[in-house]
Amino acid sequence: MYQRSVQLLSIAFLVLGLTILVRTLANGGGPLSLGVILGVAFVGVGVARLWLSGAFQ
Amino acid sequence: MAERLPREETLRRVHGVGALFSTAYGNVGSSIYYALGVVAVFALGMTPVVFLISGLIFICTAVTYAEATVMYPEAGGSSSFARHGFNELVSFFAAWGQVLNYVITVAISAFFVPHYLAVFWEPLESSPADIVFGILLIGLLIVVNVVGSKESARLNIVLAIADLMTQVVIVGIGIALVLNPEILVDNVVLGVAPSWGDFALAIAIGMIAYTGIETLSNMSEEARDAPRTVPKAVGLVVTAVLILFLLIPIVALSAMPVTMQGGEYTTALATTYAENPMLGIVDNLGLAATATEALRIYVGVLAAVILVIATNAGLIGLSRITFSMGQYRQLPEAIRAIHPRFKTPYVAIVLFGVVSAVALLPGETELLATMYAFGAMLSFTVAHVSVIRLRRLYPESEKRTYKPRFNLPLKGGDVPLTAILGGLGTFAAWIVVMALNTRTLLIGIGWMVAGLAIYMLYRRSQGLGLRQTVKVVTPEPLGVEEIEYRSVMVAFEDDEPFSEEMVATAVKLASKRRRGIHIHSLLTVPTNLPLDAELREAEAEAQSKIEQAKLIGGQRVSGHVERVRPGQAGYSISAEAKLIAAAAVVVWLRYRDGRPLYDKTLQTVLAERPCRVIVVSEKGARDGVETAPSLG
């Protein structure tokens, strides 16, 4: 249950990060805009947590 | 000793490449009638490029479907692939996404029918007439499907050919009269018309033009020689669709160029003709008034008919996928309820038909299109990932008789490049459609969460794990036995009572040369159900005819239950008679009000003439018609 919750939350972070990234770019945000930085950060956190949970093994 | 044929299958596989292509093209080709306008709203002058990019993603998806469908020729599409590649939970996600696809397909197809019928009465083009008409149409088709519709393969072929020819003619005329490469280039102002955000969103929405690929997967369980016919049909559909869906927007934007109006770039394709884009092309081809009017009426009627068929196909798809989900215990039992009289999954048809009607209520094409993109992109992404997983799990599977070219070699086995690129494309499109459309994000996530909640609660109530695959147990057909070649065949349809005269006739014929007797007992499965749907009562009744025949004919009698679609009984009987080189086939002649009734089954058997045909009527056993020289 715990493992599944962790993986689910990690996927949610990943999707959220991608969404923020896309919206920022679509609205003309540059590479150093807050939206891009936050988006990349969320994606990074999501992928990293999935990796640590062993989802890619 | 008589030569014998081992009997294993009870499912009739009837569809060849032609039927697969025409049904799939009929479903995929119908979407241009609404997709063109919707995409142009966002993509403006880049519409042809959008269709090209969406088309490339479509090719990758079609290849993925071909590989996985050949491995597992069963209904279910991406949910079936996910079941085999992952587990039941992932399969549910894909299936629930497909349900959303079908709901939106029904809604959007029904919504556009009145827009094309507006050639006869203009108010049908706008609200509220189009919403009311669409909802009434869905209601009518719900009733038709509950009672049981016959999906005519012949009609599908005729309409697919008519649709293809019409589109080719329109493109031909357009290229001759209006095509202007300069206008096409001037139509585009990079980053402005359209904006990059709208361009990205248009690509995701552009996938709506390629709805219908799931049809091939759903039909695969009835495809003859699936490893050969399915990839061939996929190839033909992809070729036809790509060429036309590139040329049609090119012609459209030459005829209705992008202009600056009120400070904004726009095109008549995205405004006046957004709701009936093919009529927009006809109106702007520059033909004489009489020719334009005639072509308008023809295209209007053809589009309306094709969209009605597409709406019905969507309802059939909905009922089949939800029934399949019920078989795998993904949805509650009540959804799988079969109508006692019509033998159709009436609860699923009514419930999800109503959901489609509700989706239609706002009358917003863009919302419908983005919702479709949400469901389709999720479902397609799962399909791509599942195929990659299946390659890793079963790299040398004997079932993989079709393997696409262009594979990436990795440790432990290769993976298909088309699945990787297609998966990245569909995943990106899924993210984009959620990111750039908040309503779609909320409704889509809400739909998935609601579905997941139903799934979890139902599974918990049944004491089943979320990842566990469980299928409703269908009783094995009794007496799956070998058939003797050159037997006398007796054919019983499921709406006919058992006839002692028929069996007695067969016994008399067979005894002359000590032949076997084979009972071909047919079970008609409504179009709304998967071919292997559980129909206990009907199966038992069909089986009982075989048992009763054995009581009369003794040990030389064998039999099996054959599942067929409505209207296929005659072909099934003929094919079986040819397969076993039957000495004769005994069929029933009905009477109504004292007059013989030559129904479709009898007509087909007599037309096919597989061997000697003995027609037995209610009035007693006698030789009715001899249609071939005696094979005795």
**Residue among A15, A19, A26 whose CB faces B197 most closely:** A26
What's residue B9's pLDDT? 42
- Give the integer Cα–Cα distance in Å for B229 and B222: 11
Indicate yes or no: CB of B436 within 8 angstroms of CB of A20.
Answer: no
Distance (Å) from the alpha carbon of A54 to chain B's nearest alpha carbon: 16
Q: At residue B569, does pLDDT exceed 50?
A: yes
Q: Which of B126-140, B361-375, B387-401 has the lowest mean pLDDT?
A: B387-401
Judging contacts by C-beta atoms under 8 Å, the chain A residues touching residue B435 are 18-23, 26
Phi, psi of B36 (to 5 degrees): -60, -50
Indicate yes or no: CB of B435 within 8 angstroms of CB of A22.
Answer: yes
Residue in chain B lying closest to A21 (CA): B435
pLDDT-based confidence at residue B621 (cuts at 50, 70, 90): very low
Structure tokens at B27: 């479903």
Do residues B422 and B60 lie in contact, with contact meaning Cβ atoms separated by under 8 Å? yes
What's residue B629's pLDDT? 37
pLDDT digits (tens, 9 = 90+) for B125-136: 988 999 999 999
Written as one string, the DSSP assignment of B46-100 is: GHHHHHHHHHHHHHHHHHHHHHHHHHS-STTTHHHHHHHHS-HHHHHHHHHHHHH
What's residue B10's pLDDT? 42
Q: What is the mean pLDDT of residues B584-607?
A: 85
- Give the integer Cα–Cα distance in Å for B461 and B416: 40
To test the contact with chain B by mutation, choose from A1, A4, A13, A18 the residue with the greatest count of B C-beta atoms within 10 A, namely A18
pLDDT digits (tens, 9 = 90+) for B324-342: 888 888 998 888 788 888 8
Indicate yes or no: CB of B431 within 8 angstroms of CB of A15.
Answer: yes
Judging contacts by C-beta atoms under 8 Å, the chain B residues touching residue A20 are 435
Q: What is the mean pLDDT of residues B300-312?
A: 91
pLDDT-based confidence at residue B497 (cuts at 50, 70, 90): confident
Residues of chain B above pLDDT 70, percent:
89
- For chain B, give the mean pLDDT: 84
How many CB atoms are closer than 10 A to CB B159?
A: 21
Q: At residue B431, does pLDDT exceed 60?
A: yes
Indicate yes or no: CB of B195 within 8 angstroms of CB of A26.
Answer: yes
Q: Which residues contact B71 (CB under 8 A, 6 or more apart)?
A: B84, B390, B397, B399, B400
List the domain boundaries for chain B.
19-128+161-317+365-421, 483-617
For residue B190, give the H/E element and its range: none
Q: Which of B14-23, B315-324, B618-627 has the lowest mean pLDDT?
A: B618-627
Written as one string, the DSSP assignment of B244-290 is: HHHHHHHHHHHHS--EEETTEEE-TTTTTTTTSHHHHHHHTS---HH
pLDDT-based confidence at residue B150 (cuts at 50, 70, 90): low
What's residue B498's pLDDT? 87
What's residue B15's pLDDT? 64
Bridging pattern class, strands B595-597 and B584-592 = antiparallel
Q: At residue B75, does pLDDT exceed 60?
A: yes
Chain A contact residues (CB < 8 Å to B): 15, 18-23, 25-27
Complex confidence, ipTM: 0.71
Indicate yes or no: CB of B431 within 8 angstroms of CB of A23.
Answer: no
Do residues B10 and B563 lie in contact, with contact meaning Cβ atoms separated by under 8 Å? yes
What's residue B8's pLDDT? 42
Residue in chain A lying closest to B433 (CA): A19
Q: What is the mean pLDDT of residues B370-388?
A: 92
The closest of A21, A57, B425 to A7, measured between CA atoms, is: A57
**Residue among A19, A21, A26 whose CB faces B196 most closely:** A26
Indicate yes or no: CB of A26 within 8 angstroms of CB of B431.
Answer: no
Q: At residue B474, does pLDDT exceed 70?
A: no
pLDDT digits (tens, 9 = 90+) for B215-272: 666 666 666 676 777 778 778 888 888 899 999 999 999 999 999 888 888 999 999 9
Q: What is the mean pLDDT of residues B529-545?
A: 85
The closest of B325, B8, B48 to B181, measured between CA atoms, is: B48
- Give the integer Cα–Cα distance in Å for B505 and B196: 76
The closest of B110, B433, B122 to B272, measured between CA atoms, is: B122
- Give the integer Cα–Cα distance in Å for B147 and B142: 9
What's residue A57's pLDDT? 58
CATH architecture designation of domain B483-617: 3-Layer(aba) Sandwich (3.40)
pLDDT digits (tens, 9 = 90+) for B105-125: 999 999 999 999 999 999 999
* Partners of B225 in the β-ladder: none
Q: At residue B455, does pLDDT exceed 70?
A: yes
C-alpha to C-alpha distances, B59 to B54, B519, B539, nearest whole angstrom: 9, 45, 40
To test the contact with chain A by mutation, choose from B199, B431, B438, B442 the residue with the greatest count of A C-beta atoms within 10 A, namely B431
The closest of B570, B571, B558 to B489, measured between CA atoms, is: B558
What's residue B628's pLDDT? 37
What's residue B520's pLDDT? 92
Q: Collapsing DSSP states into helix, strand and coil, what is residue B564?
A: strand
Q: Which of A12-26, B474-488, B575-589, B602-616 has the lowest mean pLDDT?
A: B474-488
What's residue B484's pLDDT? 63
CATH architecture designation of domain B19-128+161-317+365-421: Up-down Bundle (1.20)
Q: At residue B440, does pLDDT exceed 90?
A: yes
Residues of chain B above pLDDT 90, percent:
37
- Give the integer Cα–Cα distance in Å for B340 and B165: 43
Indicate yes or no: CB of A19 within 8 angstroms of CB of B197.
Answer: no
Higher pLDDT, B5 or B167: B167
Distance (Å) from the alpha carbon of B267 to chain A's nearest alpha carbon: 22
